Amino acid sequence: MITVALAKGALLKDTVRRFAEAGLDFSAVLEPGNRLLMVPSACGQARALLVRNADVPVYVSYGQAQLGVVGYDVLREHALPVAQLVDLGFGGCRMSVAVKASSPYRRAADLPAHCRIASKFTRCAEEFFDALDLPVELIHLAGSVELGPITGMSEAIVDLVATGRTLAENGLIAIEDLFHSTARLVGHPLSLRLDDGRLQGIVDRLAAASQVGASTGAA
């Protein structure tokens, strides 16, 4: 049986819809009373693992799931050995550097050397500032990184930005983007190599559904 790792939270509803378009019905995971962490598809040909976003590539890399859906930001941050198969096109957001609106800095390169940067995504932040040849002190936070500049603990943050509303409500502005992130279909490399055609069939149908979705969105 094919096992698919699905991320709880913001990506889940669109992920279930996209799989339905590809012929796999995981809608049971969206039922209000569902408490199961492993849910079979309606046809019984596959099952879904409900896991945290950051855990999707872990389950896929260890082969406990042959496929998974996860944000590109997570793939960049954790850098696990999974195959990136399809850009699903939803869940769009930006990984950005943000500072207090009152700050004089309007580009990441303007930040002073050895300043403090708070982030959940310290690997992404480190790669970005290394590329700028700007030494900084990275502070890993698991919660609301916006508090870093607000409290004066950090000069800036690196975080995901969708609408920018949370930044604005807390007196912050984004000054530079690291990259754009969307939901990605990933796969276990060995399972893909040994595939009898079933996995590739799902991948192809998801790719086709994503192209239709992109065309509809553009229209």
Q: Looking at residue 212, what is its pLDDT?
A: 74
Q: Looking at residue 204, what is its pLDDT?
A: 96
Q: Computed from CA positions of residues 201, 37, 93, 58, in that sequence, does the dihedral angle turn out positive or negative?
A: negative
Query: Beta partners for 118?
Result: 139, 157
Q: Assess whether 174 and 196 both reside in one domain.
A: no
Q: Which residue has the tokens 């890993």?
A: 140
Domain that holds residue 57: 2-91+182-218
Q: Assess whether 73 and 150 both reside in one domain.
A: no
Strands 67-71 and 183-187: antiparallel
Q: Assess whether 124 and 195 both reside in one domain.
A: no
Query: Beta partners for 43?
Result: none
Q: What is the C-alpha to C-alpha distance for residues 83 and 2, in angstroms, rounded to an integer?
A: 16
Q: Looking at residue 179, what is its pLDDT?
A: 97
Q: Looking at residue 219, what is its pLDDT?
A: 39
Q: Assess whether 69 and 39 both reside in one domain.
A: yes
Split into its structural domains, the chain has a count of: 2
Q: Looking at residue 91, what is its pLDDT?
A: 95
pTM score: 0.90
Q: Which residue has the tokens 């790792």?
A: 5
Q: Assess whether 173 and 187 both reside in one domain.
A: no
Query: Beta partners for 3?
Result: 47
- Residue 139, domain CATH: 3.40.190.10
Q: Assess whether 155 and 191 both reside in one domain.
A: no
Residues of the chain below pLDDT 70: 213-219
Amino acid at 54: A
CB 43 within 8 A of CB 34: no
CB 7 within 8 A of CB 53: yes
Q: Assess whether 155 and 198 both reside in one domain.
A: no
Q: Assess whether 18 and 70 both reside in one domain.
A: yes
